Amino acid sequence: MNRIQMNRILKSENLTALRKLPSASVELIYIDPPFNSGVTQQRTRIRTIRDEAGDRTGFGGLRYRTEKLASAPTFLDQFDDYIAFLRPRLVEAIRILKPQGSLFLHIDPREVHYAKVLLDQLFTTEKHSGRDCFQNEIIWAYDYGARSSKRWPAKHDNILWYTRDPKHYTFNLGATDRIPYMAPTLVGKEKAARGKTPTDVWWHTIVSPTGKEKTGYPTQKPLGILERIVRVHSNPGDTVLDFFAGSGTTGVAAARNNRNYLLIDENPEAIKLMRKRLKDALTNSG
């Protein structure tokens, strides 16, 4: 492949596909690989139907019946050597990045330290060290789910941001969404109404289990997180690559913001879901 064929979904093992992509061909890469959690990732989709003989009670005492839909795709999130799994894929990702491109690796606290050491090594060139290419560790903090009584509950993910060049890269802070001040009375009405730009700690809810955004795909990430990355770290017309594409949120964020996308996954159910989401996103965008 001599050049990127844009706005495509590739059904392929990702390392095989990456090795066919040309060097220095995309501006932004976001990946959310399996976290090596050691468990089988699965979500069951349900719907509720009004039924006086139903199994649950809703607002106003109305009764509803629960119907189980087809289970979402599943996978065993476990690796004998997780860093050895990531290394060749990250080598290819860095090769594919354009000189002013950015890589975002979304991972969890158990593996982030090892992944950062790996990326520091892989981004090192004769011109600069990989540590200089490291820009931020973004903490995505949320508050949902069970709470451990034996340790502080884990309610955050880690997102590592690296750039091919430590000084020249895309960062359009003015394009970001703005967030509320924690103490609005201290900054005045005008500033409070405008909000502030985010820091490296992103408070954002997970995908609501009952919201319209929910697809039922395990590990689906919120569109708001991906849109922030796409808007700030790329420009209209740029190409965004995600080779652990899953539910396709990266592609939806790119399409909604006038970027091109290339999504790679080998799961046929993920491919089917991505195609539907991208079709809907393009239709709704007019």
Same domain for 85 and 71? no
Is 3 a member of any domain? no
Same domain for 173 and 203? yes
The runs of H, that is alpha helices, within 26-170 are 82-96, 112-122, 130-133
Mean pLDDT of the chain: 87
The rounded radius of gyration (Å) of the Cα atoms in the chain is 20
> What is the rounded average pLDDT of the residues 148-153?
92
- What gap in Å lies between CA 93 and CA 97, rounded to an integer? 6
Same domain for 64 and 125? no
Angle between helices 223-233 and 249-256 (to 10 degrees): 50
Same domain for 146 and 227? yes
**Domain range enclosing 203:** 8-38+78-284
Same domain for 162 and 27? yes
Query: Given pLDDT bands bounded at 50, 70 and 90, which one contains residue 12?
Result: very high
The answer on pLDDT for 132 being more than 80 is yes
Q: What are phi and psi of 229, to 5 degrees?
A: -65, -45
Per the structure, the count of domains in the chain is: 2
User: Are 270 and 245 in contact, with CB atoms under 8 Å apart?
Assistant: yes
pTM above 0.75, yes or no: yes
What percentage of residues in the chain have a pLDDT greater than 70?
A: 83
Give the sheet arrangement for strand 260-265, strand by strand: 8-11, 260-265, 239-242, 26-31, 97-107, 156-163, 134-141, 201-203
pLDDT of residue 238: 98
- What gap in Å lies between CA 142 and CA 165, rounded to an integer? 31
Is 147 a member of any domain? yes
Which has more pLDDT, 134 or 1?
Answer: 134
> What is the rounded average pLDDT of the residues 177-188?
94
Query: Given pLDDT bands bounded at 50, 70 and 90, which one contains residue 67?
Result: low
Same domain for 238 and 109? yes
Same domain for 56 and 110? no
pLDDT of residue 4: 75
Same domain for 64 and 88? no
Same domain for 185 and 230? yes
Same domain for 49 and 170? no
Question: For the chain, how many residues are written?
Answer: 286
